[in-house]
Structure 1
C-alpha cells in the first residue's frame, strides 16, 4: 500500500465545499473500482485517474491507500441497524438476531470483503502504537463492531441471560454464535439458513444452561 506522511483531513474539510467535492469524487472513484475490480484495483494511481483529482489533493484527505480503502468500505457498507427484540424468550431473541445477521451476510456480499479486510488489513496505528479510532480504518473497525456485536451484547448482558445461563466469557460467546456465519460465508461452504441459526443457538444454550451446570 502506498503511504504519504500526511495527517488526516483537517477540520476545514467539513466546511470547505471544494474539499467536500474532491473527497466525494475520490470515494466515488474508489467505490467503483472496488466494486468492479476488488481491493487490488483500488490504487492511488487508479483512483486519481478515475476521479480526475490530483495526487496531492488525495493525500490531503487520506494519508495512505489503506485509509482510502477503509473510507471506501465504510461508504459501501450498508447502514443497517439490527434492533434487539424487546420481547420473547432468550432463545427466541437470539434466534431472531442471528437470523437477521445471517440474512445480512447473504444479501450484502461487501460485508464479507469488509470483514476480511478489517481482520487482515492494516490498522493505521497512532504514533504511540495504539489504534486510532479517529482514522478511517479505526472508524470502519468501530462501525463493524457496532453493527455485529451490539445486539448480542444487549441480549447476553441482560437479566434474562444471567438468570438462564452459567458464567461465560461474553466475547467468546459472541464468537460461538456469529463465528459459524462468518466462516460459512467466507469459505463459500454454504449460506446459513434460519433453521441452521436455530441449531447454532440451541447448541449454545445447551452448553451454557445454568440448569445443566447445577445438575
Structure 2
C-alpha cells in the first residue's frame, strides 16, 4: 500500500483508498473508546480489535499508541469559537469568554486533551511527533485565535497598550479552566463579565499615556 503515483496531468499524489479506509476505521475505534472509557481505554489491542485490523496496519499509520490517541483527541476537540463582529472591546471579550466557558462545560474534551498533553506525552520524547504537534496547534487555536483577533484591533491597543498575549489568555481563560478542573459550579455570563471587567480595570492605561 502507500501513495499512488501522481497523474500525468500534474495532479498531486492521491492516497490509496484502502489506506484511507483503514486509518478511518482505526480513528473511529479510538475515538469511540476515548469517549466511553477515557485515555486508558485507548490501547493498541483494544483499537485493533474494535477496528478489525492487524497491529501491523495500525503501525503503518501511527508510530505509537500515543500518536493514535493524539489523533483521536484531534477529532473530538471542537472548532474555534466564533464571535460576532461589532460592539466595543468589553462586549467582544465578554461574549467570547462566555462562549468559551460554555464550550468547556458542555464539551470538555479539549480540556482533557490539554491535561493529557501537559502531564504526559507533550513533555516527553514524543513531543515533536506530527499528531502531537497537530493536537497542540488545534488546542492553541481553540483558545488563542479568537482572542488574538480581538486584542490585535485598534480598540484593544488604544486601551491596553502593549501586552503579552500569553498572559492575557491566562488571565481571561484561566479562571474558566480552573473552575472546570476543580469541579466548581460553572461560570455563567455574569461571572465572565466580572472577569473581563476586572481584567480591563487592571490593564487599562492611565489617561494621557
TM-score range, shorter chain: 0.7 to 0.9
Provide closer, same or farther for how the CA distance between residues 21 and 85 of structure 1 changes in structure 2, counting only shifts above 3 A. same
Question: 1:45-95 CA deviation, whole Å, 9 max, x = no partner?
Answer: 1111111110011000000111000000111222x3322432111111100
Q: TM-score, normalised by structure 1?
A: 0.85
Give the structure-2-normalised TM-score.
0.87
Cα 1:195/1:124, change in 2 over 3 Å = closer
Q: CA RMSD in A?
A: 2.4
**What SS does the aligned partner of 1:63 have?**
coil
Whether 1:204 and 2:199 are equivalent positions in the alignment is yes
Per the alignment, residue 74 of structure 1 pairs with: 74
Tell me which moved more, 151-160 or 194-203.
151-160
Asked if 2 retains the 8 angstrom alpha-carbon contact of 1:105 and 1:111, the reply is: yes
CA contact (8 A) 1:95 1:197 kept: yes
> Which ranges of structure 1 fall in alignment gaps of 5 or more residues?
1-8
- Corresponding residue for 2:10? none
- Partner of residue 94, structure 1: 93
Q: Which of 184, 193, 198 is 2:188 aligned to?
A: 193
The aligned counterpart of 2:8 is none
Deviation at 1:112, TM superposition (A): 2.0
Answering whether residue 169 of structure 2 is matched by residue 178 of structure 1, we say no
Long gaps (5+) in structure 2: 5-12
Structure 1 stretch displaced more, 158-167 or 117-126: 117-126
Q: Is the 8 A contact 1:70 1:136 kept in 2?
A: yes
Aligned to 1:4: none
